[in-house]
Amino acid sequence: MLLIVGLGNPGTQYRYTRHNIGFRVIDKLVYDSGARDVSKNSFYGELFKSNEILFLKPTTFMNLSGRSLIAVKNFYKVALEDIIVIHDDIDLPFSALRMKSGGGHGGHNGLRSIDSTIGKDYTRVRMGVGKPEHRGQVVDYVLHNFLDEEEKIMDDWIEYTAKAVMQLEEKSLEEVKSRYSLKSFQG
How many Cα neighbours within 13 Å face the side chain of 94?
A: 16
Is 34 exposed, middle or buried, given 0-12, 13-18 or 19+ CB atoms closer than 10 A? exposed
The catalytic site residues sit at: 19
- Sorted by sequence, the CB contacts under 8 Å of residue 91 that are 6+ apart come out as 106, 128, 131
Cα–Cα dist 43/83, whole Å: 16
